[in-house]
Amino acid sequence: MKYNLIQRLLMAIILILSILFGLFLVMRTGHFIGEILKTFNSNIDPSVISNIFVSIVTGLLVGVYYSRKKIDKKEKE
């Protein structure tokens, strides 16, 4: 399927916005988990838990992307 320039730009904008929204949801979930952990131990900062949670999820997504890319490359050969 061929797309013209406007369709490609719209798809790129939608992709970028969906990635940002997904990271926002992951960040809020991490903050929520940090708030729950803070009730058990007052030394924990929720923003630190949020950053750890975002880095773990982002690392998993990048790992899945590259492993799928490698599998697709092997299937083409």
Mean pLDDT of the 28-53 span: 82
Task: Please spell the DSSP secondary structure of the chain, one letter per residue.
Answer: ----HHHHHHHHHHHHHHHHHHHHHHHHHHHHHHHHHHHH-TT--HHHHHHHHHHHHHHHHHHHHHHHHHHHHHHH-
Q: Where are the domains of the chain?
A: 5-76
pTM of the entire predicted model? 0.60
Nearest to 28 by CA among 54, 55, 63: 54
Q: Is 80 exceeded by the pLDDT of residue 77?
A: no
In whole angstroms, give the CA distance from residue 66 to residue 9. 24
Task: Tell me which of 43 and 14 has the higher pLDDT.
Answer: 14
| Residue 1: per-residue pLDDT | 63
Per residue in 42-70, pLDDT (tens digit) is 787 888 888 888 888 888 888 888 888 77
